[in-house]
Amino acid sequence: GAVVSQHPSRVICKSGTSVKIECRSLDFQATTMFWYRQFPKQSLMLMATSNEGSKATYEQGVEKDKFLINHASLTLSTLTVTSAHPEDSSFYICSARGPSRDRGAYNEQFFGPGTRLTVL
């Protein structure tokens, strides 16, 4: 259980185009999803937190208009990189967290396999 998928796994696009990445929780409902970015040989940097039915909360320094996040259902969040440029090339990882099963219990994050974006 607790599987998170991402699609596509790899994408190559031309500079100036927009790219959409999907993150799905396959066997649980995710009230909260997180989007991370990882540069080569570096750690994961949190970009934004999305909660189903509400606007995403972006981390400082992340451009809201460039990285559009939509969490339209309890199993799907999308990240759209608008007007992509070569510096947006990176590994994007999402994670999903379900609702607490018990009051006070910790609800764990489950990570997707990541999407490699290359902008030419």
Partner 1 sequence: AQSVTQPDIHITVSEGASLELRCNYSYGATPYLFWYVQSPGQGLQLLLKYFSGDTLVQGIKGFEAEFKRSQSSFNLRKPSVHWSDAAEYFCAVGGKTSYDKVIFGPGTSLSVIP
Q: Which residues of the chain form contacts with partner 1 (CB under 8 A)?
A: 31-32, 34, 41-46, 49, 51, 91, 93, 95, 97, 99-100, 104, 106-109, 111-114, 116
Decide whether 62 or 82 has the Cβ nearer to partner 1: 62
Decide whether 82 or 118 has the Cβ nearer to partner 1: 118
The pair of structure tokens assigned to 85 is 């440029």
The pair of structure tokens assigned to 52 is 């189903």
Q: How far is the CB of 7 from partner 1 (least distance, A)?
A: 13
The pair of structure tokens assigned to 1 is 């259980």
Q: How far is the CB of 114 from partner 1 (least distance, A)?
A: 5
Question: Are the CB atoms for 25 and 44 separated by under 8 Å?
Answer: no
- Give the C-alpha separation, 64 to 11, whole Å: 21
